[in-house]
């Protein structure tokens, strides 16, 4: 939780400072068959790190036009990252648990 808040705080600082930041990493945690956020806004080139804090496996994929991907299965305690290098609004889902929904808006 703390590292995630920190990461978003760092990302925010760069935005406020108006400098061209190094690409940020935003952390999303999978816990109790949920993403800890429903919606995030990131910059083009940023990456999202998905940490599986559950005792069961999850999946990360998107079927949104222009950004279809499948990161496969992430086992408990592991993490996967995805760089978003296109602008747009993408729906990220866990194929296993349809209730797990995340919208990623890339500006």
* Binding stretches for Cu ion (CB under 5 A): 58, 94, 96-97, 100
Give SS3 for 16: helix
Q: Burial-class residue 70 by CB neighbours within 10 Å (0-12, 13-18, 19+).
A: exposed
| Residue 10 binding target from other proteins, Cu ion, none, CB below 5 to 8 Å by type | none
Judged by beta carbon, residue 1 or residue 96, the one nearer Cu ion is: 96
Cα separation, 91 vs 29, in Å, equals: 16
CB of 10 to other proteins, least distance (A): 28
Cα separation, 96 vs 46, in Å, equals: 25
CB of 36 to other proteins, least distance (A): 13
Judged by beta carbon, residue 4 or residue 101, the one nearer Cu ion is: 101
């Amino acid at each position: 939780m703390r590292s995630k808040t920190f990461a978003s705080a760092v990302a925010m600082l760069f935005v406020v400072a108006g400098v061209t930041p190094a690409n940020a990493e935003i952390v999303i945690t999978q816990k109790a068959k949920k993403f800890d956020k429903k919606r995030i806004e990131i910059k083009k080139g940023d990456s999202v790190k998905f940490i599986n804090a559950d005792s069961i496996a999850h999946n990360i994929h998107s079927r949104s036009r222009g950004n279809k991907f499948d990161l496969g299965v992430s086992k408990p305690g592991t993490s996967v990252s995805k760089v978003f290098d296109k602008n747009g609004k993408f729906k990220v889902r866990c194929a296993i648990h349809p209730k797990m929904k995340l919208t990623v808006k890339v500006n």
